[in-house]
Amino acid sequence: MTSRPDLPVLSEALPNPRGGSVRLAEMGLTDALHAFQRQGETGAALKRAIAALHSAGWLPAQRFAEALALVAPLGEESEGSHARIADTIAVFRAAVERHNLRELSCSTALFDHYRGLHMLLASHTRVAPVSYDDLALVGRAIAPATLRGVAPDRLARTRARYEETLLKLLRGPVEESADAFARLDACLDELRGPDPYDFWRLASSTVRALRERAQRNGGEFDQIADVKRLYARFNLVLADQAHALTYAPRSLVRATLALLWRDFALYGAMPEDTSHVDVLRDYGLTVAWHVAGSPESEAAWEASAAQASEEASRDAATRDLGVLRVNAAAYEDFLQSAETAIDALVERGTQANETGMVDEAAALSAADASHRLGAAACALGLGHVALLADTLGLAWRRVAHHGESQADGAEGATRGLDATVPERAAQMLRSMLHQAAAGIAPSEGRGSIVALTAMIEKPAPFAR
């Protein structure tokens, strides 16, 4: 069950009582905080935490801890820096102890601390500025977002209307924003093409989702500010499209996708969010569905979450998978559900490799199975398994949407795909699950992720 965004919560996401814990990381962060408060050496403790988080596949948390290790020595410079770093360690440790991998990826509070660490580091050395997607999408493949061809005169008219309305939005009074948003959305609808990876589909979904979230929160300022910044950045893409560029800038695609995923990853999605969730799934990102309930029932659930987590760790049987300690019941549930999904994925990959083609429905079915496996692994805390499953799901979606049409074959069939890549990835995923079933920490699957990423990020031919 996930929290409703219009209800007050102590943190941006709920604790995950059945999620795995990385005790070595938790203890390392605790030791680092105590040492830092005494102005002692934190390096060894933070290195233990980094190694444990890497082994568990908690990559965003690993990146955060690496930033802490770089900045911690600067805490001796002033009382302000010391207090800021100490607070960051404490906040990060508390997030790790909630065992919620989506929070560790998408928490805006954690990102603010992460950005603060880099600001301290920037005062001593030249470092690139960080953006939200640096944490949210670390290690993830990003499908290229296309810009379809539009007649020059039509594009020029749309662009003129967009720029005129954008100026009114940025300079005008707040009470006129709704009309400006509607006009800008109409421009995005005109630009949008049929390709599932058309950039304007992603852009339109993101700004609408952010405004809907802000409306549920009574017009939250940060959400509206994000929306305005995105509309301004989209204007630059219009200039690219006018110069016949076929793909949107990758950095903007990442930033836009991360903002779309943010609130759904933290708070879950509701039935009316289906169109936004469909966009996320096409880019290989999954969310939990919000379970409807009264505010009283949700508040009671939230109040008991920490207690449930404590009881689960104290009373329930556990299994150790390397550095990850998991609830035994949750572990058995995961293995049972994963077995069916992985068998279907391996079979699908083998068939595609043998025949050299696969129909769209079969590819989408394989993608959905892989995403379900990834979501289940994420909930349990198996970070490496979750990342490979999500990446494999995205690869199958790319096959479904951008496979080369078979002219003389069955309707909806695709050919010309290198099916050995998803087949080998599925075999690797099965091997990782066998390791987990044997009580062994799953391997990273890095080679499979690299191969899938090359397949996913290769620009697909499309008609302008």
Taking the CA atoms of residue 154, residue 157, residue 158 and residue 161 in that order, the dihedral angle to the nearest 10 degrees is -170
Specify if 4 maps to a domain: no
In a domain, 79, yes or no: yes
Same domain, 340 and 439: yes
Q: What percent of the chain has pLDDT over 70?
A: 84
Q: Print the domain residue range for 174.
A: 152-282
My answer on whether 363 and 240 are in the same domain is no
10 Å Cβ neighbour count for 356?
13
**What does the DSSP assignment read for 329-395?**
HHHHHHHHHHHHHHHHHHHHHHHHHHHSEEEHHHHHHHHHHHHHHHHHHHHHT-HHHHHHHHHHHHH
- pLDDT digit string (tens) for 106-136? 999 999 999 999 999 988 887 778 999 999 9
Q: Are residues 209 and 177 in the same domain?
A: yes
Q: Is residue 353 domain-shared with residue 439, that is, in the same domain?
A: yes
Tell me, yes or no, whether 144 lies in a domain: no
Residue at 436 is within a domain: yes
Same domain? For 166 and 114 the reply is no
pLDDT for the residue 409: 43
Pick the range with the lowest mean pLDDT from 17-31, 293-307, 346-360, 447-461: 293-307
Which of the listed residues 75, 105, 136 is the one where a domain comes to its end? 136
Task: Give the per-residue pLDDT at 163.
Answer: 96
Please report, rounded to a whole number, the percentage of residues in the chain having pLDDT higher than 90: 65
Q: What is the pLDDT of residue 356?
A: 63
Distances (CA, A) of 82 to 8, 36, 115, 118: 30, 8, 16, 15
Residues 452 and 335 in one domain: yes
Q: How confident is the model at residue 370 (pLDDT cuts 50, 70, 90)?
A: very high
Q: List pLDDT tens digits, range 378-428.
A: 999 999 999 999 999 999 999 888 764 443 444 445 554 566 888 899 999
Query: How far apart (Å, rounded) are the C-alpha atoms in residues 29 and 94?
Result: 9
Residue 143 covered by a domain: no
Residue 397 belongs to domain with CATH number: 1.20.120.160
Has residue 11 got a pLDDT over 70? Answer: no
pLDDT band of 346, cuts 50, 70, 90: confident
Same domain, 321 and 451: yes
Asked whether residue 83 falls in the same domain as residue 201, the answer is no
DSSP 256-310: HHHHHHHHHHHH-B-GGGHHHHHHHHHTT---PBPPP--HHHHHHHHHHHHHHHH
Looking at 237, 267, 282, the residue that finishes a domain is 282
Overall number of domains in the chain:
3
Query: Looking at the structure, do residues 56 and 119 belong to the same domain, yes or no?
Result: yes
Residue with tokens 């990442």: 254
Count CA atoms closer than 13 A to 252's CA, side-chain side: 20
* pLDDT at residue 455 in the model: 92
The last residue of one of the domains, among 232, 261, 282, is: 282
Mean pLDDT, the chain, whole residue set: 86
Question: Which position has the higher pLDDT, 347 or 436?
Answer: 436
- Residue 245 inside a domain? The answer is yes
Asked if residue 102 is part of any domain, the answer here is yes
Expressed in angstroms, the distance from the first to the final Cα of the chain is: 43
Looking at the structure, tell me whether residues 132 and 156 fall in a common domain. no
**Do 36 and 99 lie in a common domain?**
yes
Sequence-ordered list of residues with C-beta below 8 angstroms from that of 224, at least 6 positions apart, any chain:
177, 210, 211, 214
The per-residue pLDDT for range 130-163, each reduced to its tens digit, is 999 999 999 999 999 999 989 999 999 999 999 9
Of the two residues 283 and 173, the one the predictor is more confident about is 283
Note the pLDDT tens digit of each residue in 62-80. 999 999 999 999 877 788 8
Distance from CA of residue 363 to its chain's centroid? 22
**CA distances (Å), 236 to each of 80, 153, 232, 266, 275, in order?**
39, 18, 7, 30, 25
Query: 369 with 269, same domain?
Result: no
CA distance 227 to 180: 12
Instruction: Report yes or no on 142 lying in a domain.
Output: no
